[in-house]
């Protein structure tokens, strides 16, 4: 008779508890059960992959009611307990079931138990032989501040969070590479994780890392990998074959058995916060994971987040400062404010900006124009009756895309042909309002018909490899003027770029989101950093940044003039402290969705009544979201605040089970530490 033990398994399901299954002991193809093993179990009418989180002799449930484990995914070595602890922390802090955290971070081909794909991937696991570092590559000579930063990182034993605060072009990437080199030399098995905020920053960093470390297996993790690529790379990481892991935010949840250093590049970037499903901050999980493992973590940025800056001021984090650019003779670009009230814009351009571009063209230097709005124009309107191209499914305008001759909603994806006449009054003279990157491209071609102009935004880089091809053209000098959105504003090293023009940044000054100013300043510093990275131009001119604004005396722009991030952040921190906002307060948002916003608001009011010890937190009035309707679903939100993270978490642990038991038919979710309100 086959003997059984009990294994507790978590599954990718909204049900927040462990499931007991009978596990045959000493049966064929059933190894000794261990925490971290992946198994296939019956669940309802289907079979699901699950993760063993406990092994017991008995169950509190009648054994006759328990189902048996179907099989073990034996090709995969068990996941370590420290990885399970990471998932358990993320599940607890961000208020999701453990199974919804752990299982989705494992490749689908493993969860689907595709034996052939697994066998091929396991068979392909090969450690690349050779030296760690390229012996024929001449490493850049470090400045003193860079040397001190590398030394501080590599000499650290145990947990220590560093904020690598360096101006754009100060050589943060070189510090990462040299610190990684020294760390890899400390142990034959050590792994290093480097995270970047966006996929489009991955290829160029990967080239740098691969050229520096030809004898090391390097694996990437991001959402654009095919399932077979993800399986191969994940297995290399999980088995320790890959010693350098390069990825976006999802990489923080990868199983890395020998992790010895974590680098979070551009740590301030909002892209590190997941906005659906498990709404986690990869940066914050990186710090937690480093603390758990007792290893250093480096948070790099020219404009660190206010949270990280405050941790430096309080002594929790160590600041490593790089005050100057790493390239000889390279200085920060001069920033000029163009007062749009005194210098009227024509087609979106001031005469000063047009003249500056003209001078660059005459010297064969490159220019970058930054506008964070894709499309041709934000809206089409009828001046006769006031009709505006509004999305029928969202409380948003439909953007005019001239190249495809259609209106597109950037929120739900709805597309409509351009109306020949006004839908309301029949007027044939429809006008465009505002400017997107496509319209700026068209206007620029009118001023400079012989210039080689390239637009880089989400529309022009949809095809695989198109962004890489576009960037290569810029680097080769085949482009004179680049027009781009935020995807071009950070991380790119353009050696011949001597002018940056910033168009229409003022909208962020009046946003309802209290983080908008912080983001705008960061964005300005990042895009300004694309200029002058190759040093003084061959004509001896300093690079410059021109910002077109109607509010040149605004404190944010005045601080930008001198690249004075420190003083600007000090003022912001004082404002946040006086208002009890992060990083001095802690927030949770409860979102509700319904066909009618009033139903969503009713649910939120019921949720308030269910809050345990409401006097321990600050409860704001439920309100419709700023973008109230998306894809015919109306949305509302409830903001809850506290001066104590522990008190807020304690309330959530009691409150959320009550919300789950409320039979309302309303879709809802919780976001802890929201990035925008």
- Give 3's Cβ-side CA count (13 Å radius): 7
- For residues 238 and 107, give the distance between their C-alpha atoms in angstroms, rounded to a whole number: 11
Among 192, 194, 163, 521, residue whose Cα is nearest residue 322 = 163
- For residues 549 and 561, give the distance between their C-alpha atoms in angstroms, rounded to a whole number: 13
| Alpha-carbon distances, residue 33 vs 58, 115, 256 (angstroms) | 14, 20, 21
How many Cβ atoms from other residues are within 10 Å of residue 376's Cβ? Answer: 23
Is 425 part of any known ligand binding site?
yes
Is 87 part of any known ligand binding site?
no
Phi, psi angles (nearest 5°) of residue 172: -65, -40
Strand (E) positions, 388-536? Answer: 399-401, 406-408, 415-417, 430-433, 453-456, 481-484, 497-502
What value, to the nearest 5°, has the Cα angle with vertex 169 and ends 559 and 329? 95
- For residues 397 and 387, give the distance between their C-alpha atoms in angstroms, rounded to a whole number: 11
Q: Which two tokens stand for residue 499?
A: 């002018």
Q: 317-353: b or e for each residue (b if 16 or more CB lie within 10 Å)?
A: bbebebebbbbeebebbebebbebeeeebeebbbeeb
Phi, psi angles (nearest 5°) of residue 273: -100, 120
How many residues belong to the chain? 677
Among 388, 355, 373, 520, residue whose Cα is nearest residue 440 = 373
Q: What is the 3-state secondary structure (H, E, C) of 591-656?
A: EEEECCHHHHHHHHHHHHHCCCCHHHCEECCCEEEEEEEECCEEEEEEEEEECCHHHHHHHHHHHH
Q: Is the peptide bond before 307 cis (omega within 30 degrees of 0)?
A: no
Phi, psi angles (nearest 5°) of residue 314: -85, -5
Please list the residues that pair with 9 across neighbouring strands: 19, 52
- For residues 272 and 292, give the distance between their C-alpha atoms in angstroms, rounded to a whole number: 20
| Residue 58 burial (10 A CB sphere; 0-12, 13-18, 19+) | exposed
Q: 294-315: b or e for each residue (b if 16 or more CB lie within 10 Å)?
A: ebbbbbbbbbbbbbbbbbbeee
Helix (H) or strand (E) holding 669: strand 667-672
How many Cβ atoms from other residues are within 10 Å of residue 44's Cβ? Answer: 7
Helix (H) or strand (E) holding 352: helix 351-362
- For residues 325 and 285, give the distance between their C-alpha atoms in angstroms, rounded to a whole number: 30
DSSP one-letter code for 315: T
- For residues 118 and 552, give the distance between their C-alpha atoms in angstroms, rounded to a whole number: 59
Do 411 and 627 contact (CB within 8 A), yes or no? yes
| C-alpha dihedral, 548 to 550 to 552 to 555, nearest 10° | -110
Binding site, residues?
382, 385, 391, 394, 409, 412, 422, 425
Binding site for Zn(2+), residues?
382, 385, 391, 394, 409, 412, 422, 425
């Amino acid at each position: 008779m086959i003997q059984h033990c009990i294994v507790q398994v978590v599954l990718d399901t909204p049900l927040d508890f462990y499931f007991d299954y009978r596990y045959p002991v000493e049966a064929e193809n059933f190894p000794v059960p261990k925490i971290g093993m992946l198994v296939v179990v019956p669940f309802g009418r289907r079979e699901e992959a699950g993760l063993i989180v406990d092994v017991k002799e008995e169950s509190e449930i009648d054994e006759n009611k328990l189902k048996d484990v179907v099989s073990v995914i034996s090709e995969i070595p068990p996941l370590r307990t420290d990885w399970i602890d990471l998932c358990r922390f993320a599940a607890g802090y961000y208020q999701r079931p453990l199974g919804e955290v752990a299982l989705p971070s494992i490749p689908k081909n493993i969860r689907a138990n595709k034996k052939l794909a697994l066998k091929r991937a396991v068979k392909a696991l090969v450690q690349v032989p050779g030296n760690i570092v390229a012996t024929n590559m001449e490493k850049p000579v470090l400045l003193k501040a860079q040397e001190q930063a590398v030394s501080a990182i590599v000499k650290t034993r145990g947990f220590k969070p560093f904020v690598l605060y360096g101006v754009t072009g100060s050589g943060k990437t070189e510090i990462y590479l040299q610190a990684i080199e020294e760390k890899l030399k400390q142990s034959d098995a050590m792994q290093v994780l480097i995270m970047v905020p966006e996929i489009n920053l991955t290829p160029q960093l990967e080239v740098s890392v691969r050229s520096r470390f030809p004898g090391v297996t390097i694996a990437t993790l991001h959402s654009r990998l095919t399932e077979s690529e993800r399986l191969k790379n994940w297995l290399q990481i999980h088995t320790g074959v890959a010693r350098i892991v390069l990825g976006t935010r999802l990489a923080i949840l990868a199983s890395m058995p020998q992790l010895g250093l974590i680098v979070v590049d551009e740590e301030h970037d909002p892209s590190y916060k997941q906005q659906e499903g498990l709404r986690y901050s990869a940066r914050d999980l990186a710090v937690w994971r480093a603390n758990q493992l007792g290893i250093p973590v480096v948070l790099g940025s020219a404009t660190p987040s206010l949270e990280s800056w405050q941790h430096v001021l309080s002594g929790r984090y160590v600041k490593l400062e790089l005050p100057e650019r790493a390239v000889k003779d390279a200085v920060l670009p001069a920033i000029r404010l163009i007062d749009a009230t005194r210098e009227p814009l024509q087609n979106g351009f001031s005469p000063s900006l047009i003249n500056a571009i003209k001078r660059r063209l005459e010297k064969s230097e490159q220019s970058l124009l930054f506008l964070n709005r894709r499309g041709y124009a934000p809206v089409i309107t009828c001046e006769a009756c006031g009709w505006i191209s509004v999305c029928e499914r969202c409380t948003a305008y439909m953007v005019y895309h001239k190249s495809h001759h259609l209106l597109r909603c950037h929120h739900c994806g709805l597309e409509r042909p351009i109306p020949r006449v006004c839908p309301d009054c029949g007027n044939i003279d429809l006008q465009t309002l505002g400017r997107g990157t496509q319209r700026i491209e068209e206007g620029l071609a009118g001023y400079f018909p012989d210039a080689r102009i390239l637009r880089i935004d989400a529309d022009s880089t949809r095809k695989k490899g198109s962004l890489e091809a576009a960037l290569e053209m810029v680097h080769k000098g085949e482009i004179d003027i680049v027009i781009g959105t935020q995807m071009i504003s950070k991380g790119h090293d353009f050696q011949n770029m001597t002018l940056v023009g910033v168009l229409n940044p003022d909208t962020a000054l009046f946003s309802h989101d209290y983080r908008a100013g912080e983001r705008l300043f960061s964005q300005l510093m990042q895009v300004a950093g694309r200029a002058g990275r190759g040093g003084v131009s061959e004509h001896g001119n300093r690079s410059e940044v021109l910002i077109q604004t109607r509010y040149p005396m605004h404190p944010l722009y005045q601080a930008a003039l001198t690249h004075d991030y420190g003083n600007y952040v000090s003022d912001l921190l004082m404002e946040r402290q006086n208002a009890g906002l992060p990083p001095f307060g802690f927030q949770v948002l409860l979102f509700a969705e319904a066909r009618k916003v009033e139903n969503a608001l009713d649910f939120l009011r019921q949720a308030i009544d269910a809050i345990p010890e409401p006097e321990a937190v600050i409860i704001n009035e439920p309100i419709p979201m700023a973008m109230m309707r998306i894809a015919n679903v109306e949305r509302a939100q409830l903001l809850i605040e506290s001066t104590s993270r522990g008190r807020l978490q304690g309330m959530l642990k009691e409150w959320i089970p009550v919300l789950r038991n409320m039979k309302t038919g309303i879709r809802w979710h919780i976001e802890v530490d929201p990035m925008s309100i």
